[in-house]
Amino acid sequence: MSFTNLLTIAIPCFERKEYFMTALESALNQTVKCTVIVVDNCSSHDYFEMICKEKKVTYYRNEKNLGLYPNYNMCYFLATTEYVKILDDDDLLLPDYVESFLKALSQHPGIDVFYTDYYLQESGFKLPHNEILPFGYMEKGYEIIEYGIKYRLAFPYMTSTIKKEKAILDLDINDCIGGYDYVWVYSKADQLTFYGESQKLHLYRMHNDKTSHISLEWSANTLTAPYIYDTILLSKISEPKLKKRISNNIFWGMVLLKSEGKKSELKKIINSENRFGKYLIIKLRDSILLRILFITPKEVVFPIYKVLRKIGNIR
């Protein structure tokens, strides 16, 4: 049975039990085995510890709940291999994920980020996604940036294996969950080497308990896109057409935030004092159009946005 000491699959978990076993087994049942660890974010029960003991998997438990992305960083910290793959406790890997990673690494030694295409899984069914992703070897991730501007920010961070020394996420102290994973990708893309595998080797399970479906987290993640376009990507490109596309993406991202976010959520984000809240404050201060938009009743903005989206005027 083959084994690689280059990779750790780290599974962060907290409270929910129903998806964990199959996620863990998908990590253990790879055609090429690797180190697997579980990092429990201070759950109120010992289920994860019991399962790990049964499966002979290294188990860590945080002394307190660190939050989602700080626990990602803990996974990177605890791993002792050159590369780390974070597998959320509600997702699944296909059996040849590790083998495909090693093949890519043998062909392109030293890659910083390996990622794969993926399926959505809902009610036991594999479903296609509608994102447009670049695949193959990228010595610098300019294609990641270009695709993010042209088609929308859709990098499959959840499928990625990352070189440990490059992987730590830059987080705010006053944390309000936003897309820190995307901030990392698009901030670093032009400094990193990527390999995108076109095989679908990751299953992203759709269910109501996903963190991104929680209302405040949804709003913060939605705000992440205009933040990235405006404060990160705008300075990385010079082509006028792409700059114009960025401006368009920023505006419609704000319209989406207003049309589907709750007023109470937006207030919490503004008061969070993290980068996303500060960004929203600045945008509202500097743009009369956005101030008008955000004082317009949601009941007016939402149907207009939906109609424009339906007829294809916005992505």
What share of the chain has pLDDT > 90, as a percent? 75
% of the chain at pLDDT higher than 70: 93
Which amino acid is located at 26 in the chain?
A: S
Tokens of 247: 């401006």
Any idea which of 3-17, 190-204, 243-257 has the lowest mean pLDDT?
Answer: 243-257
Q: What is the pLDDT of residues 196-235, one digit of tens each?
A: 999 999 999 988 776 554 555 788 889 999 999 999 999 9
pLDDT tens column, 33-80: 999 999 999 999 999 999 999 999 999 999 999 989 999 999 999 999
- The whole-chain average pLDDT of the chain stands at 92
Instruction: Please compute the mean of the pLDDT values over residues 272-293 and round it to a whole number.
Output: 92
Angle at 67 between CA 65 and CA 70, to 5 degrees: 110
Residue 202, strand partner residues = 93, 118
Predicted confidence band at 273 (pLDDT cuts at 50, 70, 90)? confident
What DSSP state is assigned to residue 189?
G
DSSP state of 153: S
Cα torsion angle, 161, 166, 172, 178, sign: negative
Model confidence at 314: pLDDT above 60: no
Query: What angle, 0 to 180 degrees and rounded to 10, lies between the N-to-C axes of helices 142-150 and 180-188?
Result: 120
Q: What does the alpha-carbon distance between residue 85 and residue 292 come to, in Å, rounded to a whole number? A: 44
Answer yes or no: is pLDDT of 312 > 60: no
pTM for the whole thing?
0.93
Query: Contact, 36 vs 20, CB < 8 A?
Result: no
List the one residue out of 127, 302, 298 whose CA is nearest residue 200.
Answer: 127
Strand, helix or coil for residue 294 = helix
| pLDDT of 115 | 98
**How confident is residue 185, by pLDDT bands cut at 50, 70 and 90?**
very high
pLDDT digits (tens, 9 = 90+) for 152-181: 999 999 999 999 999 999 998 765 568 999
Spell out the domain ranges in the chain. Answer: 3-212, 215-311
> pLDDT band at 263, cuts 50/70/90?
confident
pLDDT at 211: 59
Domain 3-212, classified CATH 3.90.550.10, yes or no: yes
Q: Are strands 3-13 and 83-86 parallel, antiparallel or unpaired?
A: parallel
- Residue 100 scores a pLDDT above 70: yes
Average pLDDT of the residues in 285-311? 84
Task: Give the integer Cα–Cα distance in Å for 315 and 308.
Answer: 9
